[in-house]
Structure 1
C-alpha cells in the first residue's frame, strides 16, 4: 500500500482540529477595553498550548512517515486511533479553558494528551513491525528517552491536577517544550541514507 492517502487524510484531520480550536477564540462581546481582552488570556493560552501540541504531532508524523516504505491495514487503523485522540483536543482544550481552576478538566486534558502519546507510540511500533526490525524508522527511534520522560510527566501532571491545576498545566507545558525542540534522530537517519 502507498502511504500518500494516509498522509493526506491525516494532514486534513489535523487542519480541521486546528480550525475547530481557533473557533473557540472569540473577541469580547460588549467591552472594548484592554481589561476585557486580558480576561481572555486563559482561553488564548489554552489554544496556544494545544496548537503547539497539534503542531508537534503533525511535525513528528510527517518525519516518521518520511522514513516509512511500507504500510498495511493495521497501520491505517493505528493511525486512525491517533487521529481519534487528537480530535478530542478541541473539546478538552475548551473545557480546560473554561474551568482551568478545576482539577477534573485539567486532568482530563492531560489524559487525552497522554492517550495521544500512547496512540503515537502504538502507530510507531506498527510501522516498525511492517518495515522490519532493521527499517530506517527502527534505527531512528532507538531508546526513545524523550517518550519515556514525557510519559512520566503526563502521569505526574494528571495526578498533580488534583493538588494544583497550575502544576498540572505546567507539566503538560514542559512536555510540549521537550518535543518543541526538534528531534534530530529521524533527520539524521534520512541524511545518512542520502549520503
Structure 2
C-alpha cells in the first residue's frame, strides 16, 4: 500500500487536535477590557503552548520518518492509529493541567500520555522498518540510538513521579523533553540528503 492516505489522515487528525486545544482557551468573563482579565488564563495558555510544541514535534518527525518509506501495510496503519489515539488525548490532558497546574493527578496523567505517545512512536517506527526494506533508508538512519531517545522515557517517568511531590519540577521535566526534541531527527535528514542523486 502507498503511504499517501496515511499521511493525509494523520495530518488531518493532528490539525484537529490543535484546533480542539485552542478552543479550550475561553475568552475572559470579565467585560472590563483590561489585560489583567487575561491573568487567570496564563496557566491554560502555557499548557497549550507546551502541548502545541509536542504536537508540532510529532508532526515534524512523522513527516521526516515517512519520507524514508515507500510503502505501508496493515500493521503500520494500526500502529499509526495507536499513536494518534494517544495524541488525541492531548486536548483533554492539556485542559486539565491548565485548570489544575499544581495538582498531582493532572500532571501525572499528562506525563503518562506523553510517555505512551513516545512508546507508540517506537512501535510505529519498528513497523515501518519491517514494512519497508530492513536494510533500507529508515533502518539505516535510526540504527544508532541517540541520547535523547534513550533519555526521553526516563524524563517522562521523572515528570510523572515528581508530580506527586514537586509539581513545578514535573512541568520542567516535560518542557525539557520538548526542548530536546525541537530539532527534527538529524539522522533522518542526513540519510535523506545522502540518498538524493547529485
> TM class by shorter-chain length?
over 0.9
What is residue 22 of structure 2 aligned with on the other side? 22
Which whole-Å CA distance do the structure 1 matches of 2:34 and 2:144 have between them?
A: 51
Task: Spell out, residue by residue over 1:20-49, the C-alpha distance to the aligned partner (whole angstroms, 9 max, x if none).
Answer: 000011121124222221221101000000
What is residue 136 of structure 1 aligned with on the other side? 137
TM-align CA RMSD: 1.0
What is residue 186 of structure 1 aligned with on the other side? 188
What is residue 74 of structure 2 aligned with on the other side? 73
What is residue 167 of structure 2 aligned with on the other side? 165
Which whole-Å CA distance do the structure 2 matches of 1:115 and 1:82 have between them?
A: 8
Structure 1 residues not aligned, in runs of 5+: none
Task: Spell out, residue by residue over 1:7-29, the C-alpha distance to the aligned partner (whole angstroms, 9 max, x if none).
Answer: 00000000000000000111211
Structure 2 residues not aligned, in runs of 5+: none
Residue among 126, 140, 158 paired with 1:156: 158
Which whole-Å CA distance do the structure 1 matches of 2:144 and 2:38 have between them?
A: 45
Relative to the length of structure 1, the TM-score reads 0.97
Tell me if structure 1 keeps the 8 A contact 2:93–2:109: yes
- Per-residue deviation at 1:165? 1.1
SS of corresponding position for 2:181: helix
Which whole-Å CA distance do the structure 2 matches of 1:132 and 1:193 have between them?
A: 14
- Give aligned pairs, total: 195
Which whole-Å CA distance do the structure 2 matches of 1:182 and 1:119 have between them?
A: 18
SS of corresponding position for 2:101: coil
Which whole-Å CA distance do the structure 1 matches of 2:186 and 2:70 have between them?
A: 20
